[in-house]
């Protein structure tokens, strides 16, 4: 291990802060859950039946299992950036000017063929490597929403409605770029700290595997926490809650945004879920498809893991407001 | 988390993923196209985890030797690191053991009657095409009734052009038994789940099977039924996912299939 003592000390301090933020972030999620669970209290008896536990475990394990290959893809890319790409090369390759960097990052998002679980570790690593924050966040938001796999599955789920694919692409890219610009322009530098650790042990192989292992555990731990909550949500809240909701007004849009956050369906599959909800207008379903890959319980947990609670508290509401507004506008014009 | 713990943890998750991917167990959770990605990512995790542990051991030994040789304080410090800590991931990483613990404690279960009974009631057919006539013409079924997926059966029953064919030709359907809340013991719902990505987005696809009163099989028994479409009792053609009704001619218990779910 060839770290200088100074670097080692910095890491320790960061880690203490990180641990505290981790505990606080989880506590925050649990608190946010209490009102939701209280509302669902009528169904609480189900919790204690074996059937409910089995149902929870199936959804929980399947969410985790589904995410693991994407998480591995994300952490391998992240570790490769950290161990193999010199920081000086990144500094030269990426424009410092956000006017160029942000849209470029949005377009680069189209190249990562994964769902949201891959993009979080990659974005966390990019920030740790000194990419302008706005650009890294634009990448974080755009990658899971506009990559070719998601576009194809959207086209399959909405046959004969290519405007839905176009609207999803446009609304997601616009949201990602606007949030990126907004962050570049107004964010305080203290708000975002990457918790992705830098391992410099000497050999490239050691750097690579150490970084991959710690990124995987960091992101994966948060993912598991998010998956547990989502599975509990799906098990406890009776689906009949949604029977009487529908329509096309502002309420429908808010309901669909709320559903996107709580259901946390993977961006590859959410188009199929949205296609089935015909009681909602196309615009409100576009809101569902735009918000889902950017803000949901699983993602909030992942982002809090890669960055910090302070970051999540500002970033999540910002993205939510921009995504709902842009998707509503795009939907009104295109659909 | 210590370096050796972190490596062991990653290798453990890798082994879990590999085990899932190499056995049909993963089909209870994800779609079949994920198989190779599970195997690949499991293998990568095992390799990374083992390498982390081995390199850590080598380095610790090297550091200890150096410290003993030179009384070099710096090297000594790092030698202790190798044994006792230098945290490689925050404690949240331990949570990754939970899916494994749950799978062991609760068992590996597919979605069952509980999930089927909790579906949204306003449901529409997912997009997709099925040409029953071509299917009947193309296959040679050796005098047997042709087997159909539940989702294809419902698609054909909702299609005004194909519906009458189902009234004439007997077909075979396989699924598990779910009690019909409105059935009063005179029918059950033959159920399959259709999943787009993983079990978290499953949709129950059901066909109503009338039986003699009191003859409803136990819930979650797998059965194969043969019969024609009851044109009068089934829902009108449209886009609904409401269960069509089968006129049963034969029914037998079967084993749970490996490919547990249906896919779009």
Chain B residues with beta carbon closer than 8 angstroms to that of A221: 89-96
| Residues A190-219: b if buried by 16+ CB within 10 A, e if exposed | ebbbbbbbbbebeeeebbbbbbbbbbbbbb
Q: Which residue of B has its CA nearest to A161?
A: B127
**Does the predicted interface ipTM exceed a cut of 0.90?**
no
CA B193 to chain A, closest CA, distance in angstroms equals 13
CA distance B262 to B234: 22
If you count DSSP H runs as helices and E runs as strands, how many of each does chain A have, helices first? 14, 0
- Say yes or no for a CB contact (<8 Å) between B109 and A218: no
Name the residue facing B89 among A65, A214, A238 (closest C-beta): A214
| Mean pLDDT across B30-45 | 94
Chain B residues with beta carbon closer than 8 angstroms to that of A15: 87, 90
Residue B85 has pLDDT above 60, yes or no: no
Instruction: Provide the number of CB pairs (under 8 Å) joining chain A to chain B.
Output: 220
Chain B residues with beta carbon closer than 8 angstroms to that of A155: none
Chain A residues with beta carbon closer than 8 angstroms to that of B196: 153, 268-269, 272-273
B94 lies within 8 A of chain A by CB: yes
Residues A183, A188, A192, A197, CA torsion sign? positive
Chain A residues with beta carbon closer than 8 angstroms to that of B118: 238-239
- Say yes or no for a CB contact (<8 Å) between B44 and A210: no
Q: SS3 for A185?
A: helix
The confidence score (pLDDT) of residue A27 equals 44
Neighbours of B246 (CB within 10 A): 27
pLDDT for A202-218, tens place per residue?
Answer: 688 888 898 899 889 88
pLDDT by 10s per residue, chain A, length 335: 333 343 333 444 455 555 544 444 444 454 454 555 455 544 544 554 578 888 899 999 998 998 899 889 888 988 888 887 777 777 777 777 888 889 988 888 887 776 777 888 888 888 888 788 899 999 999 988 888 888 888 888 887 889 999 999 999 999 999 999 999 988 887 788 777 777 776 688 888 898 899 889 888 888 888 888 888 888 887 666 666 676 678 888 998 999 899 888 878 778 878 887 777 889 999 999 999 999 988 888 888 888 888 898 899 999 999 999 999 999 999 98
The confidence score (pLDDT) of residue B245 equals 92
Q: SS3 for B262?
A: strand
More confident residue, B71 or A154: A154
Q: Whole-model pTM?
A: 0.79
Name the residue facing B34 among A66, A157, A205 (closest C-beta): A66
More confident residue, B133 or A168: A168
CA distance A271 to A172: 14
């Amino acid at each position: 291990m060839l770290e200088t003592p100074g670097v080692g000390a910095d890491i320790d301090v960061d880690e203490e802060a990180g641990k505290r933020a981790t505990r606080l972030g989880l506590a925050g999620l649990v608190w946010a859950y209490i009102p939701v669970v209280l509302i669902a209290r009528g169904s609480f008896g189900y919790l204690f039946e074996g059937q409910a536990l089995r149902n929870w475990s199936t959804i929980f394990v399947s969410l985790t299992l589904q995410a693991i290959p994407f998480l591995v893809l994300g952490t391998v890319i992240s570790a490769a950036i950290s161990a193999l790409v010199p920081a000086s090369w990144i500094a030269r390759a990426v424009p410092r000017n956000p006017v160029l960097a942000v849209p470029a990052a949005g377009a680069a998002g189209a190249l990562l063929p994964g769902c949201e679980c891959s993009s979080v570790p990659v974005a966390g690593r990019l920030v740790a490597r000194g990419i302008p924050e706005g650009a890294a966040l634009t990448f974080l938001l755009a990658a899971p929403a506009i990559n070719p796999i998601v576009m194809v599955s959207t086209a399959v789920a909405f046959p004969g409605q290519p405007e839905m694919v176009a609207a999803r692409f446009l609304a997601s890219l616009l949201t990602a770029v606007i949030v990126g610009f907004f962050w570049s322009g107004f964010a305080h530098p203290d708000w975002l700290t990457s918790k992705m650790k830098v391992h410099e042990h000497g050999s490239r192989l050691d750097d690579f595997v150490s970084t991959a292992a710690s990124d995987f555990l960091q992101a994966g731990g948060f993912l598991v926490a998010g998956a547990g909550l989502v599975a509990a949500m799906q098990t406890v809240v009776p689906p009949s809650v949604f029977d009487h909701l529908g329509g096309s007004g502002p309420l429908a849009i808010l309901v669909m945004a709320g559903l996107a956050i709580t259901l946390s369906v993977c961006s590859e599959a959410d188009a199929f879920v949205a296609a089935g909800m015909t009681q909602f207008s196309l615009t409100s379903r576009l809101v569902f498809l735009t918000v889902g890959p950017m803000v949901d319980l699983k993602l909030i947990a992942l982002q809090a893991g890669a960055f910090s609670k302070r970051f999540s508290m500002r970033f999540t509401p910002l993205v939510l407001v921009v995504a709902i507004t842009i998707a509503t506008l795009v939907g009104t014009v295109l659909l | 988390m210590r370096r050796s713990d972190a490596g062991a943890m990653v290798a453990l998750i890798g082994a879990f993923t590999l085990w899932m991917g190499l056995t049909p167990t993963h089909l209870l959770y994800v779609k079949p196209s994920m198989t190779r990605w599970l195997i690949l990512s499991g293998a990568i995790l095992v390799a990374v985890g083992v390498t982390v542990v081995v390199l850590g051991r080598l380095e610790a030994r090297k550091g200890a030797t150096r410290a003993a040789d030179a009384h070099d304080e710096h090297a000594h410090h790092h030698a202790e690191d190798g044994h006792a800590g230098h945290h490689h991931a925050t404690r949240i990483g331990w949570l990754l053991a939970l899916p494994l613990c749950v799978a062991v404690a609760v068992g590996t279960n597919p979605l069952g009657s509980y999930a089927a009974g909790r579906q949204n009631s306003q449901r529409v057919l997912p997009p997709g095409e099925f040409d029953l006539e071509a299917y009947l013409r193309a296959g040679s079924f050796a005098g047997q009734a042709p087997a159909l997926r539940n989702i294809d059966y419902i698609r054909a029953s909702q299609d005004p052009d194909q519906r009458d064919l189902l009234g004439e030709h007997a077909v075979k359907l396989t699924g598990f038994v779910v009690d019909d809340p409105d059935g009063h013991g005179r029918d059950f719902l033959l159920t399959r789940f259709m999943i787009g990505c993983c079990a978290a987005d499953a949709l129950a696809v059901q066909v109503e099977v009338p039986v003699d009163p009191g003859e409803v099989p136990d819930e979650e028994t797998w059965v194969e039924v043969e019969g024609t479409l009851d044109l009068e009792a089934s829902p009108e053609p449209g886009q609904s996912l409401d269960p069509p009704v089968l006129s049963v001619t034969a029914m037998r218990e079967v084993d749970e299939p490996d490919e547990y779910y249906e896919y779009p």
